[in-house]
Amino acid sequence: MARFAWAVVGFLQQRDGGRHPYAVPRALARQDSGGTGYQRARAPTIAAAVGADIVPHDRALDGINQLPFFEGKQPASDRESVLLYANAQLRAVKWHDWKLHYVYAPEAGGPAVPPLMRLFHLLSDPREESDVKDANPWVQSVTDRVVNDFVATTRRYPHVAPNTPDPYVPPKM
| Count of Cβ atoms closer than 10 Å to residue 28 Cβ | 15
173 lies in some domain: no
Identify the pLDDT of residue 12.
44
Say if residue 60 is in the same domain as residue 86: no
- pLDDT averaged over consecutive 10-residue blocks of the chain (173 residues)? 46 39 45 48 78 75 79 84 87 95 88 94 95 98 95 85 82 71
Say if residue 60 is in the same domain as residue 99: no
What CATH number has the domain bearing residue 92?
3.30.1120.10
Say if residue 89 is in the same domain as residue 148: yes
User: Who's near 98: CB < 8 A, 6+ residues apart?
Assistant: 119, 120, 121, 122, 136, 139, 142, 143
Q: 75 and 172 in contact (C-beta within 8 Å)?
A: no
Say if residue 66 is in the same domain as residue 6: yes
Last residue of a domain, one of 45, 70, 95: 70
Identify the pLDDT of residue 107.
85
User: Who's near 120: CB < 8 A, 6+ residues apart?
Assistant: 98, 99, 101, 128, 129, 130, 131, 132
Say if residue 7 is in the same domain as residue 58: yes
64 lies in some domain: yes
Identify the pLDDT of residue 170.
76
User: Per the structure, how many domains does the chain have?
Assistant: 2
Provide the b/e sequence for 132-148 (b: ≥16 CB within 10 Å): eeeeeeebbebbeebbe
42 lies in some domain: yes
**How many whole angstroms separate alpha carbon 90 and alpha carbon 138?**
20
166 lies in some domain: no
Say if residue 144 is in the same domain as residue 102: yes
Say if residue 56 is in the same domain as residue 118: no
Last residue of a domain, one of 42, 70, 98: 70
Say if residue 66 is in the same domain as residue 85: no
| E strand spans, the chain | 81-86, 89-95, 98-101, 118-121
Say if residue 91 is in the same domain as residue 141: yes
Helix or strand or coil: residue 146?
helix
Q: What domain range includes position 98?
A: 81-156
